[in-house]
Amino acid sequence: MKNNHIFILGGARSGKSKFAEDLALKKILKIKQKIAYIATAKNNKDKEMQSRIKQHVERRGANFITYEEDLTLDKAIINCAKNHDIILVDCLTIWLANIGYNQEIDEKQNIKNLLLALEKTSNKTIILVSNEVGLGIVPANKVARKFADRAGELNQKVAKICNQVYLVTAGIPLKIKG
């Protein structure tokens, strides 16, 4: 499928979000439009997560309009595509954890819905950020292994759809597709 979608993978604190933001900013110079930033992390009572969110918000600046969506990412993408040509989603791994912990949500259907939303918005530039969790050791507990498996499967499906895929390590992007 021909689209402008870009998938960015990396480990924790690898520089993937900063790379995604810089890539989006380069693209808006041509169209003079603000970027839709879909944040999937919940701003809860976890002080460390609040600090991470604050850092991301401060770094992004005024060129981004933030939309928070922790569960129905497909709907957020479709809605943002109505008013934005560039959408940055950060991060699929957190979104996957959110839907995985919600017992009322069908995870497989939600993933299918996300993939369909990406197909429907092929005329837009969607930049998706996700953690690459499969490069380390096999997790010691069953829950962590299951999550790593699910994240790996999601990443493979998204990478297949996107025309460009980057792996970011130590702040250095390596284009692996496109």
The residues annotated as belonging to the active site are 56
First to last CA, the chain: 12
State the residue for tokens 């970027």. 35
Q: Which has the closest alpha carbon to 73: 97, 61, 89? A: 89
Contact present, 3 and 118 (Cβ < 8 Å): yes
Residue 163 and residue 8 in contact, taking contact as beta carbons nearer than 8 Å: no
Q: How far is the CA of 13 from the CAs of 61, 117, 168, 170, in angstroms?
A: 20, 28, 10, 8
